[in-house]
Structure 1
Amino acid sequence: MTDSAPTLRQLPRGRHHLSREEVVASQRERILVAMGEAMTEGGYVGTPVAAVLKRAGVSRETFYELFRSKEDCFAAAFDRVSALLAERLQGVIAETADADAFTRMDRILTAYFDHMIDDPASARLFLVEVYAVGPSAIEARMALQSRFVAVVAAMLGAQTAEQQFACATLAAAIGAMVTGKIAGDDLDGLRALKEPLIDLARRSGSVYGTAFAG
Structure 2
Amino acid sequence: MAGGPTGTYGGRSAQERRAERRERFLRAALDQFGDRPGYRAASVTALCEAAGLSTRQFYEEFRNLEDVLAQLHLVVNDWTEQAVLAALGDSAGLAFEARIRAVLRAYVAAATDDPRRLRIAFVEIIGVSAALERQRLVRRSRWVELILAEARAAAERGEAAERDYRIAATAFIGAVNGLLHDWTAGQFEASMEQVVDELVALLLGVVRPPA
Fold conserved between structures, TM > 0.5: yes
Question: Which residues in structure 2 correspond to 1:13-162 (within 5 Å)?
Answer: 16-39=10-33, 40-156=35-151, 157=154, 159-161=162-164
Deviation at 1:190?
7.3
Give per-residue Cα distances to partners, 1:154-209, cap 9 Å, x unaligned: 34446522x33222211211122223334x2679747241111112334x2xx325
Q: Secondary structure at the match of 2:41?
A: coil
Assess if the C-alpha contact under 8 Å between 1:31 and 1:56 holds in 2.
yes
Q: Which has the larger radius of gyration?
A: 2
RMSD between superposed Cα atoms in Å: 2.5
Deviation at 1:104?
1.0
Distance in 2 of aligned mates of 1:61 and 1:164: 46
> Could you tell me which residue of structure 1 aligns to residue 182 of structure 2?
180
Distance in 2 of aligned mates of 1:50 and 1:194: 41
> Could you tell me which residue of structure 2 aligns to residue 165 of structure 1?
167
The percentage of counterpart residues that share the same residue type is 24
Equivalent residue letter for 1:27: R
In structure 2, the CA distance between the partners of 1:149 and 1:187, relative to structure 1 (3 Å rule), is farther
Distance in 2 of aligned mates of 1:154 and 1:195: 21
Deviation at 1:108?
0.8
In structure 2, the CA distance between the partners of 1:60 and 1:82, relative to structure 1 (3 Å rule), is same
- Structure 1 length normalisation: TM-score? 0.78
Assess if the C-alpha contact under 8 Å between 1:37 and 1:122 holds in 2.
no
Assess if the C-alpha contact under 8 Å between 1:35 and 1:74 holds in 2.
yes
Equivalent residue letter for 1:196: E
Deviation at 1:64?
0.7
Q: Secondary structure at the match of 2:12?
A: coil
Runs (5+) with no aligned partner, structure 2: 1-8, 156-161
| Runs of 4+ residues deviating >3 angstroms | 154-159, 185-190
Give per-residue Cα distances to partners, 1:125-156, cap 9 Å, x unaligned: 12110014211111111111111112233344
Assess if the C-alpha contact under 8 Å between 1:82 and 1:144 holds in 2.
yes
Distance in 2 of aligned mates of 1:65 and 1:135: 24
Q: Secondary structure at the match of 2:40?
A: coil
Equivalent residue letter for 1:96: S
